[in-house]
Amino acid sequence: MTEKEMQIQQKQEVQQAGEPTKPEKQYVPAVDIFETAEAVNVLAEMPGVAKEGVEIELENETLTIRGVMAPVVCEGETVLLQEFQPGSYLRKFTVAETIDQEKIQATMADGVLTLVLPKLAPAKPRRIEVRGS
Amino acid sequence: MAIVRFADQKLFRNPWADFERMRRELDALFQGGGPEASGRGAVFPALNVSEDPAHLYVRAEIPGVAASEVEISIEGDTLTIRGERQTCKAEEKCSYHRREIECGRFSRAITLPTKVQVDKVEAKAADGIITITLPKAEAVKPKQIKVNVG
C-alpha cells in the first residue's frame, strides 16, 4: 500500500450547446491520456457502462467516446440515499497524430475504458524525379 | 406512501422550527445544487442506498478497482468500504497529456439505518459498480399480525 490518499473529484456534467432530448444526465468521463513512441493511450472512467454500451468514433481527427450506463434494476426498492444517477458519458478529443484506424484497440474492465490508438508509421520521404520534356 | 415513524412526532412544537428549516434550505441553495445534491460534497465512492422490506442495498461507484481489492467490513451498524486504486501506470518513455483519474487509497463509512444479518451480507461487482446486499435482521423485518376475533 502506498501512502497516497486519493484526491476526490466530483463528476462533471457535459456543458453543451444543444439540449439533449432525453432527460438523463450526461457526464464528462475523467481521462488519462499518455503517448508512447508507438501509440496514444486513452483511459476513460465510465462506471456502470458495460462493454456493449461503449461507442468510439474517430472521424476527421475527432475522437468521440460515448458510454451508456446499463440500467440498474431496483424495482420495489425505496431510495434512502442517492449520490450518483444513471446517465451517459460523452467526451470528444482532437487527435493531432495520424492514427492507424485499422489497429485501434479498446477494452473495458471494471468501468474503465482503455483505448490504444496506434500511430501510423511515418510516411517514407519519396523523391520525385523531374523529367525533362 | 409516506411512513411516519413514532419517533418523528414531536411532543412540543418548536416555534422556531420553520425558521430553522428555511435556513437549512437556503444554505443548501447557496451550496449549489438541488435537493439531491444538498448536504454532500465530493465523495468517493459515491453511494446509492435503497431498501425493500427484507434487504438493504448499497451500490458504490468504484471504477478502475478490481473487486478483489475492495475491502468491505461491518462493525456494529457501520459499513466501511476501503481500498486502493492503482491505475497510475508509470510506463517507461511515455509522456502524459492529461491526468485526471486520481489514484490512491480511499475509504468511506456509512451508518446503516437498520440492523442487518452480518453473516449473510453479499457483494458483487459489475462494470465498476459494487452492489452490496444486506439482509435485514429478523427483528426489524415487517411482520403481519393477525387480529383474533373472540
Q: Which residues contact B144 (CB under 8 A, 6 or more apart)?
A: none
Of A4, A80, A110, the CB nearest to B49: A80
Residue among B111, B129, B72 at smallest CA distance from A81: B111
Q: Is the pLDDT of residue B131 over 70?
A: yes
Distance CA(A81)–CA(B31), nearest Å, equals: 18
Query: To which residue does cell 420553520 refer?
Result: B18
Measured in degrees and rounded to the nearest 5, phi and psi for residue B30 equal: -75, -20
From the list B64, B102, B104, B99, the residue with the least C-alpha distance to B84 is: B104
Distance between CA atoms of residues A93 and B1, nearest Å: 47
Residue B97 Cα, gap to closest chain A Cα (Å): 5
Q: Is the pLDDT of residue B128 over 50?
A: yes
Measured between CA atoms, the residue of chain A closest to residue B84 is A1
Kindly identify which residue of chain B lies nearest to residue A113, measuring between CA atoms: B64
pLDDT at B38: 39
Are the C-beta atoms of A24 and A88 separated by less than 8 Å? Answer: yes
Q: Residue A16's pLDDT is what?
A: 65
Best of A49, A80, A116 to mutate (most B CBs within 10 Å, chain B): A80
Q: pLDDT, tens digit, for every residue of B33-66?
A: 544 443 445 778 888 899 888 899 999 999 888 8
Residue that wins the pLDDT comparison between A126 and B137:
B137
Q: What is the mean pLDDT of residues B114-133?
A: 91
Which percentage of chain A shows pLDDT scores above 90?
Answer: 13
Hey, which residues 123-142 in chain B have their CB within 8 Å of chain A?
A: 125-129
Spatial distance between the Cα atoms of B63 and B60, rounded to a whole number of angstroms: 9
| CB contacts < 8 A (A, B) | 141
Dig out the grid coordinates for B73 from the structure.
467490513
Q: CA-CA distances (angstroms) from residue B63 to A110, A128, B27, B102, B149?
A: 6, 53, 32, 11, 57
Q: Which residue from A84, A4, A18 is spatially nearest to A45, judged by alpha carbons?
A: A84
The percentage of chain B sitting over the pLDDT mark of 70, rounded to a whole number, equals 80
Only one residue has cell 449520490, namely A83
B31 has a chain A CB within 8 A of its CB: no
- Which residue shows C-alpha cell 450526461? A26
Is the Cβ pair A80, B51 closer than 8 Å?
A: yes
* Residue B99 sits at the chain A interface (C-beta within 8 Å): yes
Query: Is-above-0.80 flag for pTM?
Result: no
Distance (Å, whole) CA B112 – CA B132: 12
Find out whether A86 and A48 touch, Cβ atoms under 8 Å.
Answer: yes
Cα B81 from Cα B38, distance rounded (Å): 23
More confident of the two residues A10 and B32 = A10
> Residues 37-76, chain B: which have Cβ within 8 Å of A?
40-44, 46-52, 57, 59, 61-67
What is the pLDDT averaged over residues A55-71?
87
Q: Quick check: ipTM above 0.90?
A: no
C-alpha cell at A84: 450518483
- CB-based contact, B102 to chain A, within 8 Å: yes
CB contact under 8 A, B48 and A110: no
Q: Which of B129, B86, B81 is nearest to B104 (CA)?
A: B86
Choice between A73 and B4, residue whose per-residue pLDDT is larger: A73
Q: Is B103 on the interface with A (CB under 8 A)?
A: yes
> How far is CA B15 from its chain centroid?
33
B20 or A107, greater pLDDT:
A107
- B7 alpha-carbon distance from chain centroid: 22
Distance CA A121, CA A99 (A): 9
Per-position DSSP letters for A59-122, written without gaps between them: ETTEEEEEEEPPPPP-TT-EEEEES---EEEEEEEE--S-B-GGG-EEEEETTEEEEEEEBPPP
